[in-house]
Amino acid sequence: MRHLAVYLMLQLGGNDSPSKEDITKALSAVGVESDAESLDKLVAGLDGKSVEELMEAGKELLATFGGGGGGGGAAAAGGGDAAPSAAAKEEEKEEEVEMDLAGGMDMFGGESGGGGGDY
């Protein structure tokens, strides 16, 4: 995938036919090694093709996969009055309780003031 990405970037940058050396040089510039075997296959398969041709061929291949993605689940049937549902939601809310520690602890469990702690 990295080889293809660099190939396409080089083409978009003006290099109509990036070579193996061009791709290897671009990858090494950002500290990524290239795999010679997969790079050979890629360059052989893409030699002389433009970005537009590759995109069009890719769209045709995607069409063969179909579009079955399982959709979303069905919505639940509304079985009556919505008011009880709202009341149930209110009951679920928990009231937040604040504790006054009088400055006795910090968030890491040590004494307040930052003295003598591990952090």
As a whole number, mean pLDDT of residues 16-43 equals: 89
What is the pLDDT confidence band of residue 19, given thresholds at 50, 70 and 90? confident
Distance CA 80, CA 113 (A): 57
pLDDT in tens, 54-64: 788 888 888 88
| Cα 6 off chain centre by | 19
pLDDT in tens, 63-73: 887 766 666 66
For the chain, strand residue ranges (E) read none
> Global pTM?
0.47
